[in-house]
């Protein structure tokens, strides 16, 4: 019986533990898995807080069904029938610019009609068709890529809000290749994004005609998917189905190498032995654990920066919010100078997010572009959110329900040089056979990415166990 310890009970750690148990059984390997979680609750960033009839998502509110990994996991767990898909209205996403909410265009004609981008900006965007691809293989920032291919206006009003919506990140520092690998590849494969869109659309049309794929109304982004009681049903569902032990309030402080594996030292001084260790904590939390084991690894882990964020949930009686809430919500470009990064109309996206006759609005504040706004007094956070809601949506009323969740290190930032840091972590892993790294610090921050990284990590662990 091989003893495996997973450090961290977020989605990455829990999914790695569960998938490993399944795969080991299939491979005829006997393992005993223990998950060690620092806090007194599991789930990490996944936390659906239910109070007064509201469901406040502390972190993620769902995953996109355009990638298969979380759906497959739900199938394996037997909870796929419990999923709820976001309302079709959730496809309506808005950008706040120059005093108005503009619906994000989903097709060419809608884009031409939209007033979000000026005519010179649209013409600059169209010029993308003739801009040659970059061939020096540089790890380019998202901002440099945006300015080079699409122009400054598209960078400010389209790319920057998207980066803020996914990473709470700053496009001036984030790496195109690490954050949006597919976009980097499209430029390399097709010579440009518009050329890629045209060719891929033609290919899809052909495949639909030949019956190879089914036409989908969901669009390439997919449908945001969650559970009736919030996304935490996913992590709770995994935890319930793990055969091994989940130990809460068990912060690991140190990993020491032994002849037959590793010894983990917990904050209370107790130790746990393991032949295989899967570290699934945020990279900043993993740094100290390996200081004595491998200083170089410890430094690389420390070099991955995190952006802070305030998540603010406001609940209102529906008739106190005159604004139409038909859609997903909106993002705000930095140049608008608002405090918030955007607001999600959570109760319009999924059922059971607010009591009957009420609505839930969830605003984000801070991120890599305004980190100073995280850590300010709660009253100031609330006032700033209220001011933005008043200015943008005309909401004058005080919320009848309010929760503020400041998160000092919320989302890892894949800045330029990230791929080299990931390579260094992988190389270090090889110096210490039996020690594996997974989690959102390396291969993608979406819930789908975390589950996919767990699949990949488990495959490596199984290979290691078979040797």
Q: How far is the CB of 252 from ligand FAD (least distance, A)?
A: 4
Measured distance CA(453)–CA(219) in Å, rounded: 25
Residue closer to ligand FAD, measured from CB, 347 or 440: 440
Contact window for ligand FAD (CB under 6 A) among 25-33, 275-283, 297-305, 375-383: 275-283
List the one residue from 19, 238, 309, 374 that touches ligand FAD (CB under 6 A). Answer: 309
Number of residues engaging ligand FAD in binding (CB under 6 A):
36
Contact window for ligand FAD (CB under 6 A) among 57-65, 102-110, 195-203, 210-218: 57-65
Does 439 contact ligand FAD by CB under 6 A?
yes
Residue closer to ligand FAD, measured from CB, 196 or 332: 332
3 state SS for 92-116: CEEEEECCEEEECCCCHHHHHHCCC
Does 44 contact ligand FAD by CB under 6 A?
yes
Helix (H, G, I), strand (E, B) or coil at 222: coil
List the one residue from 282, 366, 399, 434 that touches ligand FAD (CB under 6 A). Answer: 282
Measured distance CA(263)–CA(245) in Å, rounded: 17
Residue closer to ligand FAD, measured from CB, 10 or 333: 10
What does 265-276 look like in DSSP terms, one character per residue?
EETTS-EEEESE
Does 385 contact ligand FAD by CB under 6 A?
no
Where do we find the tokens 């800045």?
A: 415
Helix/strand number for the chain, H first, E second? 17, 20
Strand ranges of the sheet holding 271-274, from the earlier edge strand across to the other edge: 252-258, 261-266, 271-274
Does 39 contact ligand FAD by CB under 6 A?
yes
Q: How far is the CB of 438 from ligand FAD (least distance, A)?
A: 7
Among 45, 41, 14, 12, smallest CA distance to 407 is for: 45
Does 60 contact ligand FAD by CB under 6 A?
yes
Cα 114 → chain centroid: 28
Measured distance CA(405)–CA(414) in Å, rounded: 23
Give 329's contacts (C-beta < 8 A, 6+ positions apart): 93, 94, 342, 343, 344, 345, 346, 348, 349, 361, 362
Does 222 contact ligand FAD by CB under 6 A?
no
List the one residue from 411, 422, 428, 465 that touches ligand FAD (CB under 6 A). Answer: 411
Does 173 contact ligand FAD by CB under 6 A?
no
460 sits in which H/E element: helix 447-466
Measured distance CA(372)–CA(339) in Å, rounded: 10
Write the DSSP symbol of residue 141: B
Spatial contact of 284 and 305, defined as CB atoms under 8 Å apart:
no
Residue closer to ligand FAD, measured from CB, 21 or 449: 449
Does 10 contact ligand FAD by CB under 6 A?
yes
Q: How far is the CB of 127 from ligand FAD (least distance, A)?
A: 33
Does 301 contact ligand FAD by CB under 6 A?
no
Among 147, 151, 161, 100, smallest CA distance to 122 is for: 151
Residue closer to ligand FAD, measured from CB, 79 or 150: 79
Q: How far is the CB of 123 from ligand FAD (least distance, A)?
A: 34
Does 366 contact ligand FAD by CB under 6 A?
no
List the one residue from 8, 121, 161, 230 that touches ligand FAD (CB under 6 A). Answer: 8
Does 261 contact ligand FAD by CB under 6 A?
no
Does 389 contact ligand FAD by CB under 6 A?
no
Residue closer to ligand FAD, measured from CB, 125 or 142: 142
Which tokens in the block code for residue 242? 């793990």
Q: Given the rule CB under 6 A, which residues bind ligand FAD?
A: 7-13, 36-39, 44-46, 59-63, 251-252, 280-282, 285, 309, 311, 407, 410-411, 439-440, 445-447, 450
């Amino acid at each position: 019986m091989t003893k495996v310890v997973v450090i961290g009970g977020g989605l990455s750690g829990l999914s790695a533990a569960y998938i490993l148990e399944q795969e080991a059984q299939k491979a005829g390997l006997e393992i005993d898995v223990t998950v060690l979680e620092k806090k007194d609750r599991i789930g990490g960033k996944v936390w659906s807080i239910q109070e007064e009839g509201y469901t406040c998502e502390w972190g993620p509110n769902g995953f996109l069904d355009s990638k298969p990994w979380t759906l497959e996991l739900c199938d394996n767990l037997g909870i796929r029938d419990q999923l709820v898909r976001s309302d079709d209205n959730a496809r309506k996403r808005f950008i706040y610019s120059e005093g108005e909410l503009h619906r994000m265009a989903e097709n060419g004609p809608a884009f031409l009609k939209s007033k979000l981008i000026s005519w010179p900006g649209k013409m600059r965007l169209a010029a993308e068709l003739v801009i040659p691809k970059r061939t020096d293989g540089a790890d380019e920032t998202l901002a440099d890529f945006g300015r080079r291919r699409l122009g400054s206006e598209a960078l400010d009003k389209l790319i920057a809000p998207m980066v803020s919506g996914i990473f709470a990140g700053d496009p001036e520092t984030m790496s195109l290749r690490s954050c949006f690998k597919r976009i980097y590849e499209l430029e390399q494969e097709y010579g440009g994004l518009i050329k890629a869109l045209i060719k891929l659309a033609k290919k899809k049309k052909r495949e639909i005609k030949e019956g190879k794929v089914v036409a989908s109304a969901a669009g390439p982004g997919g449908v945001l998917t969650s559970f009736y009681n919030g996304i935490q049903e996913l992590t709770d569902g995994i935890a319930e189905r793990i055969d091994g032990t989940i130990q809460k309030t068990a912060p690991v402080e140190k990993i020491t190498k032994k002849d037959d594996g590793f010894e983990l030292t917990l904050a209370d001084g107790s130790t746990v032995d393991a032949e295989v260790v899967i570290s699934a904590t945020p990279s900043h939390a993993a740094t100290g654990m390996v200081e004595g084991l491998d200083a170089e690894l410890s430094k690389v882990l420390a070099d991955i920066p995190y952006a802070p964020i305030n998540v603010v949930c406001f609940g209102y009686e529906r008739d106190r919010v005159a604004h139409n809430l038909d859609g997903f919500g909106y993002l705000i470009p930095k140049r608008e100078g608002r405090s918030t990064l955007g607001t999600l109309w959570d109760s319009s996206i999924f059922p059971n997010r607010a009591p009957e006759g009420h609505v839930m609005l969830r605003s984000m504040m801070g991120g890599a572009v305004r980190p100073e706004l995280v850590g300010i007094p709660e009253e100031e956070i609330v006032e700033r959110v209220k001011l933005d809601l008043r200015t943008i949506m005309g909401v004058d009323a005080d919320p009848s329900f309010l929760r503020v969740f400041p998160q000092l290190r919320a989302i890892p930032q894949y800045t330029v040089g990230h791929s080299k840091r990931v390579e260094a972590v992988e190389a270090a892993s090889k110096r210490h056979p039996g020690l594996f790294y997974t989690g959102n610090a390396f291969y993608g921050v979406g819930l789908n990415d975390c589950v996919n990284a767990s699949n990949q990590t488990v495959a490596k662990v199984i290979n290691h166990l078979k040797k």
